[in-house]
Amino acid sequence: MSHNPQDSGDWQSEFLTFSLYRVSHSKMRKYLDIMDHILESDSTNPKSHVNFPLLLKPRVGKMSSRESTPSSILMDRDDFDETTVSDGTLKSLLKQESELHLQIDALQIEIATLEEKLGKQEKGDELDEQDLEEFEAPEWCVPIKANVMNFDWDSLAAEVQFDVIVTDPPWQLATHAPTRGVAIAYQQLPDICIEDIPVPKLQKNGFIFIWVINNKYAKAFELMEKWGYTYVDDITWVKQTVNRRMAKGHGYYLQHAKETCLVGKKGEDPPGCRHSVGSDVIFSERRGQSQKPEELYELIEELVPDGKYLEIFGRKNNLRDYWVTIGNEL
């Protein structure tokens, strides 16, 4: 049973970058137009008349580096007719020109940065499309592409009660720039939306595994209790590079090199449950964004063999045989 999911992609990030690029480019042209206006002759005021023979040439195309700025934009006091320009007017013009140059330089740097970022996103989109073409889901997995917030959970709960539930909620980050410029390729949800998922209907007895981020530890414990679970353990995933070195990520105060998954239990042990298996620390290579280590799924399948498994907010890179996976990116 092959499966070729249709991934709409995260267009929001690319659209935002392109919009910022257009805004910066527009600002730079606006400043250049202002400079043109300053340097033009004013026939209504003879005292402010400027004899500037090297007027700026019309600018066409984009200017992404300082070298593309016309050399004639740099004014020289010798270019003015001192007999018709007061010293105060000249100083004012030169000051305005200097300020505009600083603004233009800053915008050129911003444009170059955005162009580089946009190029990386376009390259990433090409790789995503290539991965999508090559991707084939495991034969016995059950992927359900759906919006978790309006999915028919009642029908699912009526059909099956799960022994293990895994969820990686798209927690809302604490600040406007918590990842120091790293693009987040998924939509974040406020806590109240995550709380509304009717997890209690899906499981009478069993375990829940909740991935948590630093600023949501308290909320995750609160959520676990609200859903009827008792905290019993946690698992730490230490991220590694392909060379088995620690993979340091971005963080606000410290660089993040790990993720934590809280483990909760509800009711009785599922049938066939085994205790004291695996380890609460996983050393595994960091792969795609939001992709979790296979070792966690292997640990769960060892803890509850032949169980009924559900993943909420799942992605195609974590699809597994005999698992039901629900998410809008499948």
Amino acid at 214: N
- Over residues 190-207, the pLDDT tens digits come to 999 999 999 999 999 999
Residue 29 scores a pLDDT above 80 = no
Segment 211-233 shows an average pLDDT of 95
Closest CA to 226 of 215, 237, 210: 210
- Give the helix ranges, DSSP H, for the chain: 11-39, 87-134, 153-159, 191-195, 217-226, 294-303
CA dist 78 → 54, 100, 170, 235 (Å): 12, 20, 62, 73
Q: What is the pLDDT of residue 39?
A: 56
- Over residues 258-283, the pLDDT tens digits come to 999 999 999 999 999 999 999 999 99
Is 182 buried (19+), middle (13-18) or exposed (0-12) by CB count in 10 A?
exposed
Buried b (16+ CB within 10 A) or exposed e, 278-313: eeeebebebeeebebbebbbebbbebbeebbbbbbb
- Please state, for a pLDDT cut of 90, what percent of the chain lies above it: 43
Residue 126 scores a pLDDT above 70 = no
What is the fold of 139-327? Rossmann fold (3.40.50)
Query: Higher confidence at residue 264 or residue 115?
Result: 264
Q: For residues 106 and 236, what is the distance between their CA atoms, to the nearest angstrom?
A: 43
Closest CA to 82 of 73, 74, 90: 90
Buried b (16+ CB within 10 A) or exposed e, 124-137: beeebeeeeeeeeb
Interhelix angle 87-134/11-39, rounded to 10 degrees, is 160
- Map tokens 């499948």 to a residue: 330
Query: Higher confidence at residue 200 or residue 102?
Result: 200
Q: What letter does residue 295 receive in the DSSP assignment?
A: H
Q: For residues 204 and 144, what is the distance between their CA atoms, to the nearest angstrom?
A: 22
Kindly report the pTM of this predicted structure.
Answer: 0.59
Task: Give just the sign of the alpha carbon dihedral 227, 290, 309, 281.
Answer: negative
Q: What is the pLDDT of residue 88?
A: 74
Is 221 buried (19+), middle (13-18) or exposed (0-12) by CB count in 10 A?
middle
Q: Are 205 and 165 in contact (CB under 8 A)?
A: no
Residue 227 scores a pLDDT above 90 = yes
Cβ-Cβ contacts under 8 Å for 296 (sequence gap 6 or more) = 166, 209, 235, 237, 261, 282
